[in-house]
Structure 1
Amino acid sequence: MRESGGDTSFQRQQERRRSFPHAIEPNVVGCADGIEILVAHLIKEKHHRVVSIWGMGGLGKITLAKQVYNHDGVRCHFDCFAWVCISQQCHGREVLEELLNQLSSTNEERQEIVILNEDEIARRLCTKQRERKCLVVLDDIWTCNVWNSLQAGFPMNEETESRILLTTRNKEVAYCADENGFIYQPLSLNEDESWELFEKITMFQMEDTRIISFHLTLEFVWNNEMSNHTADSRIYYPEIYAKKKDLGMKMLRHCEGLPLTITVLGGLLSRKDSVNEWDMVHMNFYSYIRRGTDLGPEYE
């Protein structure tokens, strides 16, 4: 049995990993092709029961899944939706119960679920997917054993218009779920896309009130309504921008096109105004990234 301190630590880790489909990232780069491909396979391809997004951590799987889940075409095509983030210590009944709760349309249905055993929950979940067009997202399945603990809740060998969108770091999981399913692997961002994402986070950050456009000339102008804002008005001149871009490009080479790493780096540098502060991060890049120094809880 795990000690209570360990339980608390593990729970905190799981809470940080938890994903919410409505929490859309404000800065999305390099996803357009993937969104188009995945949406097409979900709503047009009839022979793919499971559509999987596979790739290493930090590659942007969850970001892509959220974009697809909230896509207008997807929202119009399916009748009901469910999204569950799977923990490494997955409890099958809890996941199936949560899915059935999200797909149920009345409070009476939800109240009944509490007293059902796992087999009955799985049966009702299957029935719900046969009767309606459901999109179920299983986010971050780590092993085939986890999938095996859940598959009783899905009508895998039957004709149904319901679909599963699955994200995983393990390609074998995608094959376990559906050997005939569609598997999509996002690519790392190229140099231009990496800079675009980085710049959006570090240069185009939004304050509590509206900011007027910030262009590559890098003259950043606050409008009149900002005169009473507590933050100091700042003007970025081209020479400062050039120095920051040089440092930024050097640091981005270490990010290897991983959106999560770029986002962490950008979140850190967005809080640092001077070139000297950027240079300090550059000189201690790995230390800052690994420790999460000065980062908010969303980047830990």
Structure 2
Amino acid sequence: MQSYDIKQERRNDGATSSTRQRERRLTYPHVIEDVVVGLGDDVEMLATHLVEDKGPRVVYIWGMGGSGKTTLAKQIFNYKKVKCYFDCFAWVCISQQCDDTTVMKEIFMKLCSMSDEQRQGIANLSNEEIAERLCNFQRDRKCLVVLDDIWALDAWNSFKGGISMNEETESRILLTTRNREVASLARGNNFLYESRALSADEGWNLFRKIAISEVNDPNSQIYSKKEELGKSMLQHCVGLPLAIIVLAGLLARKDTIDEWKTVHKNVDVYIRRGTDLEQEYKGQNMKVLHGSWHLVMTTYHIA
């Protein structure tokens, strides 16, 4: 918003555009992606860390936006080994301008089965009161708390008082972040996982499942040409899952080879745009992410 001099608008009820932005970013652990590629071994490894008796208290999943952090967290959250081990579960999305007291109350209410009256009582607690109750509850039970998309170090520090870090606790925290500072805290009895780019084969497998209809005969000339064009375009996605999904979703609506050729002809121009956002990650991947969305918006004439 600062880069493009965008002002924060307020609705009639006083809510800011950031509130609406957080509502659009909400993720739900029960909404599982139809196509998931290349995560099986990682899910097993991280799930094992979470259920170990002397395992890490906090597991950090770090990577740039669109690298599949939330998808991986969902797979772990719903993994049978994890579901059988923990007693209580909470999945909370963190906004860019999060309120620590609100976050802790949300975690506590999701971990506990409460009546409406009890929920009202929690809503009236102060920051110190909810932090103490939440911390004690995690010490007494085996809880898994997922904090999805922590943007800033200050946000994480603000509600750590409600997170049980006691050596004897069997509760665990799984968090996702795109922030290097937050990820740098993963030391001692914590574990850091860095999301990785998909290999060429994994990227093609993901792309193919979305972009090419199952009715296409793999031995046909149409399939062969789409494979040739698709693999060429995938080079611009540098293994970034979101970029692959966006590109594949666009091409899934295009049946003819001529339509695919049109996208192929312009994909490099669109993907190489978005240099204003490059500084955050100091790399090519942010260009890919921004460029992929630009490709979709331009093709469909979305304002």
TM-score of the two chains, using structure 2 as the length reference: 0.83
Q: Which residue of 1 aligns with 2:133?
A: 124
Name the SS of the counterpart of 2:121 in structure 1.
Answer: helix
Name the CA shift for 1:68/1:47 in 2 (closer, same or farther; >3 Å). Answer: closer
Q: Which residue of 2 aligns with 1:79?
A: 87
Aligned counterpart in structure 1 of residue 10 of structure 2, from 1, 4, 13: 4
Residues in 2 aligned to 1:177 and 1:188: alpha-carbon distance in whole angstroms = 21
Contact 2:51 2:82 in 1 (8 A): yes
Deviations 1:97-150 (A, max 9, x none): 110110111214323211111111111111110111000001111222111101
Q: Which residue of 1 aligns with 2:70?
A: 62
Q: Which residue of 1 aligns with 2:255?
A: 273
Contact 1:244 1:275 in 2 (8 A): yes
Contact 1:129 1:155 in 2 (8 A): yes
Contact 1:55 1:186 in 2 (8 A): yes
Q: Which consecutive unaligned segments of at least 5 residues does structure 1 have?
A: 205-213, 220-235
Residues in 1 aligned to 2:114 and 2:164: alpha-carbon distance in whole angstroms = 22
Q: Identity of counterpart residues, as a percentage?
A: 53
Q: Matches of residues 176-191 of structure 1 in structure 2 within 5 Å?
A: 176=185, 179-191=188-200
Contact 1:52 1:167 in 2 (8 A): yes
Name the SS of the counterpart of 1:284 in structure 2.
Answer: helix
Aligned counterpart in structure 1 of residue 27 of structure 2, from 3, 19, 28: 19
Q: Which residue of 1 aligns with 2:292?
A: 289
Contact 1:59 1:258 in 2 (8 A): yes
> How many residue pairs end up in the alignment?
271
Deviations 1:126-178 (A, max 9, x none): 11101110000011112221111010101213410000001111233134366
Aligned counterpart in structure 1 of residue 118 of structure 2, from 109, 119, 131: 109
Aligned counterpart in structure 1 of residue 232 of structure 2, from 242, 250, 270: 250
Name the SS of the counterpart of 1:22 in structure 2.
Answer: coil
Q: Are 2:108 and 1:96 aligned?
A: no
Contact 2:60 2:177 in 1 (8 A): yes
Name the CA shift for 1:247/1:2 in 2 (closer, same or farther; >3 Å). Answer: closer
Post-superposition shift, 1:59?
1.1
Residues in 1 aligned to 2:187 and 2:108: alpha-carbon distance in whole angstroms = 21
Name the SS of the counterpart of 2:228 in structure 1.
Answer: helix
Q: Are 2:173 and 1:164 aligned?
A: yes
Aligned counterpart in structure 2 of residue 238 of structure 1, from 208, 220, 227: 220
Residues in 2 aligned to 1:74 and 1:103: alpha-carbon distance in whole angstroms = 15
Contact 2:186 2:192 in 1 (8 A): no
